Amino acid sequence: MRRYLPFIIVALVGIVTLACGTMLYRARRVAVAPAATTARGLEKRGDKLAHILGNPDAPVVVEEFGDFECPPCANLSEPINQIEREYRGRVCVIFRNFPLPSHKHAQEAAQAAEAAGLQGKFWQMHDVLYREQSIWSKAADVRPLFKAYAGTIGADPVQFEKDVSSEPVKRRVAGDQQQGVVLGVSTTPSIFINGQLVAPTQLNPAGLRAGIDKASKATK
């Protein structure tokens, strides 16, 4: 045993050195990581809180009232994300829940997004729900799927399960719906650009870009 002791000590020193080096490297990476310049969560715009993607102070606001079980909403989800990236800093996207009673799981999906939002994961759940819409919308029971989605986006599934049917979550969904009703929303997607309702024929990437460009010129 004594004959192998020096080799064991050298090996242990090497392992400790490697571990320390790895930790230092990761710490340095975190230290030099650039600060986020855009919002991806519940942010304040004026005097109201909203789920904002992009610069909360952007001159152009794309505000969507959407239903996670609505296929046209799903079709526009990634194009809207892309538009926000293209107009970086000049456009912010606001999403508001407007689950339609004709869609079996729409209310539960809205609550799932809000429950994830309590953990700072609203937009991640937003994207997953639209991306996987064709799967969960056909399920008899969506709760296990939504809990699994929460885990895949880095949320605590146990906390998510507690929050998804909570009163604060239900109030947020109801508040979005009420705001939509006040604005005359009756279908999804309903999108407003700086307060102006986008015509149904313009609910496509090219139409939205045209509306944003027009709003940008008006703000100048």
Q: What is the pLDDT of residues 97-151, one digit of tens each?
A: 999 999 999 999 999 999 999 999 999 999 999 999 999 999 999 999 999 999 9
What is the percent of the chain where pLDDT is above 90?
77
Global pTM reads: 0.80
pLDDT digits (tens, 9 = 90+) for 33-44: 333 345 566 655
DSSP 141-190: --HHHHHHHHHHTT--HHHHHHHTTSHHHHHHHHHHHHHHHHTT--SSSE
Looking at the predicted structure, is the pLDDT value of residue 15 above 90? no
CB 182 within 8 A of CB 63: no
| Contact assessment for residue 163 and residue 118, using Cβ atoms and an 8 Å cutoff | yes
- Ranges of each domain in the chain: 2-32, 39-219
Would you tell me how many other CB atoms lie within 10 Å of the CB of residue 162? Answer: 12
Q: In sequence order, which residues have a C-beta less than 8 Å from that of residue 69 and are 6 or more positions away?
A: 99, 100, 103, 104, 105, 106, 109, 133, 137
Say how many residues make up the chain: 220
So what's the pLDDT on residue 174? 97
Range of weakest confidence among 45-49, 50-54, 145-149: 45-49
User: What is the spatial distance between Cα 169 and Cα 177, in angstroms, rounded to a whole number?
Assistant: 13
Residue that the structure tokens 């508040």 belong to: 175
Residue 216 has pLDDT above 90, yes or no: yes
DSSP element (H, E) containing 197: strand 196-197
29 pLDDT above the threshold of 50: no
Q: Report the mean per-residue pLDDT for the chain.
A: 85
- What are the angstrom distances between the C-alpha of 7 and each of 1, 11, 15, 20? 10, 6, 12, 20
* Range with top average pLDDT, 1-5, 26-30, 208-212: 208-212
Residue-wise pLDDT for 64-81, tens only, equals: 999 999 999 999 999 999
Position 18 scores a pLDDT of: 36
When pLDDT is averaged across residues 154-182 and rounded to a whole number, the result is: 97
Q: What is the pLDDT of residue 219?
A: 85
Positive/negative CA dihedral, 31, 56, 128, 122: positive
CATH code at 39-219: 3.40.30.10
Q: For 9-58, give the DSSP string.
A: HHHHHHHHHHHHHHHHHHHHHHHHSPPP-SEEEEEEETTEEEEEEE-TT-
Q: Report the interhelical angle of 122-131 vs 71-86 (nearest 10°).
A: 130
CB 66 within 8 A of CB 198: no
